[in-house]
Every structure is written in structure tokens, then in C-alpha cells.
Amino acid sequence: MSGRSDRNHNVHHASRYSVVMTGEVDVMLHSQLLRSDGQEDLCLAVYQPSNGAERMTAILADVVSPLEGETEVHGNVSFTGDYVLRAAATAARCGGGVAILHSHPFGSGWQRMSQHDKDAEASFANIVREITGLPLVGLTLAGSSDTWSARFWSRGVGRKVAPEWCESVRVIGDRLAVSWNPDLRPPPSTGANQVRTASCWGSRMQADIARLRILVVGAGTLGMDVAVRLAATGVQTVGVLDFDSAQLINLDRLIGATLLDVLLYRSKLEVTSRLLDQNATALDFRPEFIEGSICEPSQLARALDFDLIFCCVDDHPWPRSVINTIAYTDLIPVIDGGIHIDAFADGGGLRNATWRSHVLRPGRPCMACNGQIDLGKVNVDRAGLLDDESYIANLPHAEQPQGQNVAVLAVGATASLLAQFVSFVAAPAGMGEPGPLRYSLSTHWLEHVEATARENCPVEKSVLAGDRRLLLVGGHVVARQNILRRQQAASHPLIKVARVIDDAFSLLRMFLTRAIAAFQAD
Amino acid sequence: MPALDETGEEGFLVGLRRCGCNPQKRDGVIVFSVVPIDGSRAGESIETGVEVEELAAWPSAPPHWVHLPTSMTFDHSNTRPSPIPDWLKHSRSVSNWGNAKEPAQAWIAHVRAVLEEA
């Protein structure tokens, strides 16, 4: 379902809901809501909306602490209308909405609402929506398990106002901690083909990882490999976004793509789709393939529906700048990295190869601060000039794009990205993601890159902006031309017939697998 | 909350005015004057411009093209026609972008450096 804006409110008619906050806000809320005397407590916060194609997310931005007399703790907690109105006015001034948060100090797991909770939130849902144009968001913190639960009061009006439950509440710190709504996102069972994986980090962690919606942007050398390994690990929803074709020049690195794929004008998405089907271990595997560019508004909206993004885009600054920005504005952490081969200009050998990996999130330097994107080249890429041979030919040699890559080393970069992923989601030994890393092949040296956020970085200044983000999006001519060229080439009758035969072989293989599995089960 | 108020074309104009420039819009280009400190044109007030279309994500993404009258010549320059008659736009990426307290001042400094090559 596509999101649409309501005429009277900025209420996005989403089919899925979520809340996200930084680790810093999470710590602040814990200290506000979990009292030493074990009584419930309450506070309000301002959130910024982030609307994807299907999901609406509330990004908790600022805690509005109660003034003297605005809350009263008596085992339970009560609060005044003035407190709500003050928070709503604050939210309206910055285009945000209001979240009401309370604790169940001895609760464990995802919390439902008592009648008292429902009455309290419902009584303010309409007025808050009238003032801010956004639905009231309710959150409950279960003190015993550190679990959040949340709902949007977006259904109905007046006395018929009702909540839509969120599927998750995400906390983005040095690790990604997600509270899952077991009704909407039940833990998947671990299949016999995942026993070794689950034994690494336990079935609970396996269920947490499996439920993450992970998008891989760029299905090239790194991205295709990353997507396949996520599917093999048991992740239920792996999204892949790309517009490019499998070409002869890719075959020395695109492990899994074949000469037949090139001859049949297969897109990298089609190749990835086949590989994911062959390697996925989740019983309920739901891949999503998005053909296009993340620079296009509709594809960006789909990207905002994911919990985590792998940036496997090549050196093009425009798409990288878009991905870089939403890590901060929309709190969708990005695992980025790549490989640089340093070959002697005369073709006489290999000087060095380095690969880097890093997680982009508030608290860590963005791509620009980490030297992984040149913001000065975003507009020239947007104009399509970095794909324009006549423009490139006029550039000084040092500024011309370099294309060296090699399969035996690219896997090192892939491994580095995936190691960042495991640290970020599973936190081995309690250690979250390590910050930017760089491996140098010539010196065999793995180092922490001492990059920090620059004081005036325009990207990091826009943190938690949500839908107020400033992004350079629009029609991506190069992407559309690429897709059109491939479609035209693949429309030749001979290619069409060959594709049908090739697809039939794939289907036959799938049918054989299922038939023999059923026979052996009997 | 994030400082999102000085962005895009309007943010660029506000910044230029704060730096003492008097920007005008001409044929879809924001035109203003810069005085190079060094080079053959040092001390001379020279008109330059930035296409409005390139300011969509200012200051996160700075413009790429420096618009100049055709009277400004360079030994080597990757050029395209400018919307302003008798002007050209020159391909000049600004390097190390993204840490200026006043982004408009950083852009002016970039243009000055370009003009010093003329």
C-alpha cells in the first residue's frame, strides 16, 4: 500500500508503524521513567514523523520533562492537561508530534494497555492530533526486561479514536536493540538448516536478527554477496535495490552471475533473486526487489521502510549522499564500506589494497566526515556527468573514476561489512560496533580510523529531522536509461524464448527440491 | 532541533547577504560579485553565478558549476553553456566541503580561488 497524506492532518495512512530513538534518548527516558521506589512514572516527548511507502515511524527527538505539579505519582501516575498542551505546543512549533511515555516497572516483554492506560491516552489523542496534525504516540517501558512497546492513536476520531499497534521499537546506539511486537512480528522458528547459526548466538538473538528488515543498496560485487549471506543467515526480509545489468566486465567478481545471465540481459536484481531463492534458510522468506535508484523519491520512500541499510553503492556521490543523510535524519543505521585497489598507473603491478567499513548513525562520523564521500561532487553526479564519457575525458587523470577490483580481495570488504553487522546486532562480549575500520593489505594492518564528526557538518546537523530532511532526490536519468536499454535488448524474440527456458530450468530445480524433500519426509 | 531553516536557494541568498554580497537572480542563476585577492584579476570586482537548480540541497551539497562571463578565460577548463547569454559554466568541484560555519563564505572563497587561475 502506498502512503498518502490526509487533507486535514499530516497523518500518513500507513499499514505499519514503528518508533525509533537514539541510545542517548533511551538512557534519558530510562532515568526519567524507572524510579528507585518502584512506582510508575510518566513523561512526554516530541517526535518527528518519518513516512516511508508503507511504514510510519515516530523518531523520538526531545524529552519534555514535567514541571512541578504536572505529574503526580501514587503507585500509578497521573498528569495534568496543561502538561500535554505544553508538549503539544512545543511539538507544533517544530512540526513534530507528541509521544506519551510511561513505565511498568515490573513488567516484562511487550506490554499491552490496561483500561486505565487506554483511557488516559485516548482522552488526549484527539486534542493532540488537532494541535500538531500528527497522531499521539503512546509508549510503555517494561522495567524488568528493558522492553519498549508502542502504538499510534491514528485510527478513528472523537470517541472512536483507537490505537494502531507498532511492529517494533528500535533503539540506535552502539548496537541495534529492537523490541518486537509478538502479535505483528512473532519470532520465527529456527529450522534444521539454521541450527549451526542459532547455536552461535542463541535462538532469541537469531529471532531478533531474522525479523530485521534489511535493505542492500547496490547489487554489485559486495552487495550481492552481502544479500546472499543475510538470506543464508535466516533474515526473513532482505530487500535489494539496484538498476544495473549483469555485464561481461562484472563476471570476474559477481559470484553467482553467469555468462548466460549476461547474454540474456539479466538485471543484477534478477541474478540476486535467483541466488537468494537458492540460499535463503528462513521458512517465511519474503525478499523485496526494488528496481531503480535510491535517488528517486518513490524508491527512497521504500528504503525508509527498512530497519537497517547496507550501502554497497560504488563511487557515485549522489546515491551515497542520500543514504548518508537518512542514517542521521531518519535513524536508519547504514553499514557502509568498500575496497580501494591502488595499482601502479603504468599497469606494472599492485601497490596496495585497502578496505574500510563503518556504521553510520548519530554518534559516529558521517561519510563526509569519514572521508568516504566528497559532497562537492554530489551535484555533478546528479547531472549525470560522472557517467558522461566526454566529461570524464576532460577531467585531470587523478579525478577520473578508477574501476579496479578483484574477487579474491572484494570478499575481504564484504567480510568487514558483515563483521560490523554482527557487532552491531549481536554485540559479542557486550561490545557493539567498533567504529570505522580500515585494513591495509600491503602492511597487513587493521586499524581504527580516527575520524570524528566535524563541528559544522551539515549532514549531522540535520539529525532526527525525519520528513523535514533536506535531500537531493529526483529523476535519475542514468538509472532509467539503463533499465530501458536492458528492457529493449531483452525484448528480442530469441532472448524472450531463451529466458523462458532458463526460468523453466530454475523452476524445475525448485520443484525437484520440494518433491524430493516431501518424499523423504514421508 | 536541527537547524533546517537556512537551506536551499533561500539559505544561499541569506548567507551571501550576510557576507556582504548583493545577489540578484538572472536567467535562473544567482549572480553576485567577488573580488579575487591574488592572480591577474586581483582587486577587480567580477560577476559570478550559481544555477538555482544546483542549490536544492544547499548547504549539504554545494553547487558544482561556477558561472562566469566568457571574458574570463582559463588555460584548461571543462565548460558547458550557461543560461546567461555570453557566460559559460566551469566545472570546478569544491573540495573538503562540509565544515564551514558560514557555508556562503566557503563558497565565495572557492570562487576566489577559481578566479585566481584566470
User: Any CB–CB contact under 8 A between B3 and chain A?
Assistant: yes
Q: Predicted confidence band at B2 (pLDDT cuts at 50, 70, 90)? A: very low
Strands A237-242 and A288-291: parallel
Instruction: List chain A residues with pLDDT less than 50.
Output: 1-9
What is the signed CA dihedral for B83, B89, B95, B100, rounded to 10 degrees?
-40
Q: Kindly report the nearest CA distance between residue A238 and chain B, in angstroms.
A: 30
A16-180 is classed CATH 3.20.20.370: no
Q: Which of A123, A121, A161 is nearest to A140 (CA)?
A: A121
Q: Above 80 in pLDDT, residue B113?
A: yes
Put simply, the answer to whether A456 touches B7 (Cβ < 8 Å) is no
- The pLDDT of residue A5 is 37
Q: Distance (Å, rounded) from C-alpha A262 to C-alpha A273? A: 15
What's residue A469's pLDDT? 92
How far is it, in rounded angstroms, from Cα A45 to Cα A91? Answer: 8
What span, in angstroms and rounded, lies between the C-alpha atoms of B12 and B104?
Answer: 6
At A394 the pLDDT is: 77
- Residues A268/A246, Cβ–Cβ less than 8 Å: yes
What is the SS3 assignment for A465? coil
Closest chain A residue by Cα to residue B61: A375
CA distance B40 to chain A (A): 23
Residue holding cell 577587480?
Answer: B44
Q: Given this model, what pLDDT does residue A347 score? A: 81
Q: Provide the grid cell at A479.
A: 538509472
Please give, one letter per residue, the 3-state secondary structure of A258-325. CHHHHHCCCEHHHHHHHHHHHHCCCCCCCCEEEECCCCCHHHHHHHCCCCEEEECCCCCHHHHHHHHH
CB-CB: which of A325, A458, A465 is closest to B59?
Answer: A458
A16 φ/ψ angles, rounded to the nearest 5 degrees: -140, 150
Chain B residues close to A463, C-beta within 8 Å: 2
Of the candidates A459, A465, A474, which has its C-beta nearest B4's C-beta? A465
pLDDT at A24: 97
Residue B101 is predicted with a pLDDT of 94
The answer for A246, left when phi > 0, alpha when psi is -120 to 50, beta otherwise, is beta
Q: Do A471 and B101 touch (CB under 8 A)?
A: no
Q: How many Cα atoms within 13 Å fall on the side-chain side of residue A348?
A: 3
Whether A36 has its CB under 8 Å from any CB of chain B: the answer is no
What are residue A228's phi and psi, to 5 degrees? -65, -40
CA distance A158 to chain B (A): 31
Q: Which of B6, B60, B80 to mutate to test the interface with A (most CBs of A within 10 A)?
A: B60
pLDDT of residue A12: 57
Q: Alpha helices, DSSP H only, in A76-220?
A: 81-93, 115-132, 195-201, 203-211
The predicted pLDDT at position A7 comes to 37
Nearest to A462 among B4, B54, B103 (CB): B4
Tell me which chain A residue has its CA closest to the CA of residue B54.
A379
Q: Cα–Cα distance between B25 and A166 in angstroms, integer?
A: 48
Grid cell at residue A505: 530450468
Question: Which residue intervals of chain B are DSSP H helices?
Answer: 8-18, 103-115
Residue B1 binned pLDDT confidence (cut-offs 50, 70, 90): very low
**pTM of the shown model:** 0.94
What are the domain boundaries of chain B?
A: 8-115
B100 contacts on A by Cβ (under 8 Å): 456
Closest chain A C-alpha to B103 CA, distance in angstroms:
9
CA distances from B82 to A26, A314, B12 (A): 51, 30, 19
The CA-based angle A97-A103-A106, given to 5 degrees, is 160
What pairs with residue A177 in β-bridges? Answer: A171
- State the smallest CA–CA distance between residue A514 and chain B in angstroms: 51
pLDDT at site A4: 36
Chain B touched by A320 (CB under 8 Å): no
d(CA B21, CA B33): 7
- CATH tag for A200-486 (out of 3.20.20.210, 3.40.462.20, 3.40.50.720, 3.60.21.10): 3.40.50.720
The residue with cell 537547524 is B3
Q: β-strands A16-22, A42-51: how paired?
A: unpaired
